[in-house]
A and B are shown apart, each in its own frame.
Chain A
Amino acid sequence: MPNPYGYFPGCSLKGTGVAYEESLLALFQLLDLPLAELDDWNCCGATSYMCIDECSAFSLAARNLALAHKAGHRELLAPCSACYLVLRKTQDYAERYPGIAAHNGHLAICRAIRVRHPLEVLYTDLGPERIRKKLVRHWRGGRVACYYGCQMVRPYAEADRDCDPVRMDELLGAVGVPTVDYSLKTKCCGGSLTGTTHSVGLQLTEILLNEAARKGAQAIATVCPLCQYNLDAYQSEMRRASGKRPDMPILYFTQILGWALGGDLASLGFRRAISGRKTIEQWFTKDRVEKEAYVR
C-alpha cells in the first residue's frame, strides 16, 4: 500500500464544493491512490486573511504544513485553487524572505512538504495513457470547455502553464471527451466578488459562459470550488447574446474522470449541480440500454 497523499480539503469542499470532495475521493479510490485527510486542519486563510494580518496569514497556512509533516506525509494535495496557492506561496515566501520564518512563533514552516494540486498529481504521477487504459464508460456527452481559473496556474506554473494550459484537456481527452479551443482558460471568474459587488462578479462570470458557448461547448469543467460556484449558481440571472438564459452544466474534472472510470454514480456528486441538470442527466446519470453505454 503506497504512502497516502496528505489531503487538505479546505472549507469550501465541506460546503458549497462538496461535489468536488465526493468525486475526488471516489476517483482516487478508483485509481488506488490513497488520500488521508489531515486531522484537525484549519482554514488556509484564502485571500481574506492576507488583507488583515500578514504574519498571521502565513502562520495560519503554516499550521497545516506542520500538521502534514507531523502526520508523516511528504505530499499535500489541495484541490481548491485558493488553498493550493496560499499553501504554496507560504512555502515559497518563507524560503525567500527569512523574516517570515522569524515571525512564525512556534511553527516552523515546513519546506519538506510538497504542495500539489490533484490535476497535476493525476497528470504527472499517472498520466493520460494510464488513465485511458482504465476507461470503463465511453463518453456520450457533448463538447466541454476546460476552465483552469487563475490561482492554480499563477503565479506558480507548476500545476500547469499559465498561458494556454492543456493538462485538463489532455486528461479529459484520454477518456474520450472532446474539448474546445477555449481562449479564456485562465481568465479570473471574479472570486468572491459575486458575493460582495455582485454586478461586477456577475459580468466576469458571464463572459466566461458566453465565450464557452460561442466556441461550441455544452459544458465547462473546472478545478476550483469557487469557480464552479460562480459559474453554476448565477446562470438564471444571466442572458446570452441570443436573449436566452444559459443552462450549462459546470462540472469538476474529477466528476468527469470518475464517471468515465466506472465510478458509482451516486458518489460523484452529480445531484449537487444547480445549472444544466437536464444535460447532466442525459450525459451521465440516465440509464441507457446496457450495450450502448457500457462497452468495454
Chain B
Amino acid sequence: MQRELKLQREADLEWARQVSQRPGCEGLFSCLQCGACSGTCPLSIYMDFSPRRIVALVREGFRKDALSSKTIWLCASCYSCAVHCPRQIHIADVMYGLKREAIQDRLYPARFPIPVLAQEFYKMVRRRGRNSEFWLVLRMALRSNPLILLGMVRTGWNLARTGRLSLRRERIRDIASLPQEIAPREVA
C-alpha cells in the first residue's frame, strides 16, 4: 500500500502561471471544475486523469503528475471540450502545451506510439516539408512497437490495391523557407 499525500513543496505555482499565459489557455484559473469537458470528451473514458482533473492538477502546480499522464497523449484535438466549457477555456490547447513539455522532458513511456508518431512527423516535415504516409507509419512503428506493422498488413494491402498507398518520398522544392528552429520555442 503506497502513501498518496501531496505536499506543498511539490506544487510549482510559477509553472501554473506560465501555462495560463499560453495562447488559448487564458481562462485556466477561472475553471469551475464543472466537468463538462470530461463529459463531452470522447476519449475521457480511456484516460487516467479526466481533462477536468488535468486542469485541476495544472492549476495547483502538480507538473510531474500532469506531464506523466496518458491523458495528454490520448487527446485527439477534437475541441469538444473548448466548445462546451462555460469559461471558454481551450483545454485542447492546454493539452498541446503539456505534450510539448512532456516531450522535452522525456516524461512518457519510451516506446509509447503517440509521442513517437509526433516526433517522427516533426522530423520528416522539418526536413522535407511534407509527410509521406507510408514511410511515416513505418518509422513510427519501428521506433515504438513493430508489432503494429503486423496488424497493418491487411490494411496496407487494401490501400495498395486501391491505389491509396504511395511509396513516394514527398518533398517540397524550397526547403530553406521552412522554419528551421534549432530548439522548440513557445509563443508565450
Contact = CB atoms under 8 A, between A and B. Distances in A.
The answer to A–B direct touch (Cβ < 8 A) is: yes
Interface of A: 11-12, 14-19, 40-43, 45-56, 58-60, 63, 93, 96-97, 99-100, 103, 105-106, 150-151, 154-155, 162, 187-188, 190-193, 195-198, 200, 204, 233-234, 236, 271-274
A150 B79 contact: yes
A134 to B, nearest CB: 29
Contact of A41 (B132, B172, B186): B172
Contacts of A59: 179
Task: In the A-B complex, list the 3 residue pairs whose CB atoms are closest, starting with the nearest.
Answer: A53-B184, A48-B121, A188-B78
A40 B172 CA distance: 6
Chain B contact patch, size range: 35 or more
Interface in B106-131: 113-115, 117-119, 121-122, 125-126, 129-131
B77 A151 contact: yes
Given A51-B100, A54-B100, A151-B77, A43 B114 contact: no
B158 A233 contact: yes
B162 A52 contact: no
Interface stretch (B12-20, B27-35, B58-66, B147-155): B147-155
A271 to B, nearest CB: 7
Nearest to B22: A54
A191 B76 contact: yes
B102 to A, nearest CB: 9
B186 A55 contact: yes
Contacts of B79: 150-151, 154-155
A48 B118 contact: yes
B6 interface: no
Given A51-B103, A55-B181, A272-B162, A46 B83 contact: no
Contacts of B134: 15
B180 to A, nearest CB: 8
Q: Which of B76, B114, B166 has the most CB of A within 10 A?
A: B76
B23 interface: yes
B137 to A, nearest CB: 6
A184 to B, nearest CB: 10
Contact of B179 (A56, A193, A233): A56
B48 interface: no
23 contacts: A12-B133, A16-B164, A40-B174, A48-B121, A52-B122, A53-B100, A53-B181, A56-B179, A150-B80, A162-B83, A190-B42, A190-B76, A191-B77, A193-B43, A193-B74, A195-B148, A197-B113, A200-B46, A204-B42, A233-B158, A236-B154, A271-B163, A273-B162
